[in-house]
Amino acid sequence: MIEIRFHGRGGQGAVTSVELLALAAIEEGKYAQGFPSFGPERRGAPVLAFSRVDDKPIKLRCKIVKPDVVVVLDASLLLIQKPAADLKEDGIIILNTNKTAAEIRQEYGFTHTLALVDANKVAREVLGVPIVNTTMIGALLRATGVVQVETMEAPLKNRFGPLAVKNFNALKVAFEQTTIEERQS
């Protein structure tokens, strides 16, 4: 089982991301969960969303406390939260940033595998708006292979209708532009 925790801000699409990922995993014949952690969130406030994907039924019904992967939709959250503090030792940090891996490692001391993409830039160029949920799914797929890129097309079409093509294109561009730097010892 792969356990993924999304860190975003209200309005960025973290909750939508876990729902889309779960639908794609189910489309591939896997078992999946996608659920948010809600409190008094409002647009711009920190939001957590969780996803589990496995080849066998998932019996857990709790939030993820020791994830395999953290997906950070907004790098400013690194200053107010510690999304990677409880990440598994061989885990992956997927980060929306225009900084290099060396800069991120120096600034935050991360030793985990890093998957970096400037999702804001991709979203602005492809979608015309800075909503990064589908771009960050592209980075997640590049870093983990949890589902195939093509499998995301149907859930996007069902969710976004005529805007699905742009969202799928943003996902594919982010997939291609994501850089991965392996874990540091």
129-157 residue pLDDT tens? 989 999 999 999 999 999 999 999 999 99
Rounded Cα distance between 155 and 161, Å, is: 10
Q: How large is the average pLDDT for residues 12-35?
A: 96
Q: List beta partners, residue 185.
A: none
* 61 vs 58: which has the higher pLDDT: 58
Output the pLDDT for position 42. 66
Rounded Cα distance between 70 and 72, Å, is: 6
What confidence tier does 38 reach under pLDDT thresholds 50, 70, 90?
A: low
* pLDDT, tens digit (0-9, with 9 covering 90-100), for 84-101: 999 999 999 999 999 999
pTM over 0.85: yes
Output the pLDDT for position 41. 57
Output the pLDDT for position 110. 95
Q: How far is CA 75 from CA 66, 78, 175, in A?
A: 20, 6, 18
Q: List beta partners, residue 70.
A: 5, 93
> Is residue 64 predicted with pLDDT exceeding 90?
yes
Q: How far is CA 6 from CA 55, 77, 126, 162, 185, in A?
A: 21, 11, 22, 26, 25
Residue 152: count of CB within 10 angstroms of its CB: 25
What share of the chain in percent tops pLDDT 90?
85
- Domains of the chain by range and CATH? 2-181 (3.40.920.10)
- 3-class DSSP state of 52: strand
> Is residue 37 predicted with pLDDT exceeding 90?
no
Output the pLDDT for position 134. 97
Sign (positive or negative) of CA dihedral 32, 37, 42, 47: negative
The C-alpha angle 157, 161, 164, rounded to 5 degrees, equals 55
2-16 residues labelled b (16+ CB within 10 A) or e (exposed): bbbbbbbbeebbbbb
Give the least confident one: 116-120, 127-131, 154-158: 127-131
What share of the chain in percent tops pLDDT 70?
97
Query: Minimal CA–CA distance to 18: which of 114, 166, 136?
Result: 136
Output the pLDDT for position 28. 98
Q: How far is CA 22 from CA 4, 69, 110, 156, 161, in A?
A: 11, 15, 28, 12, 18
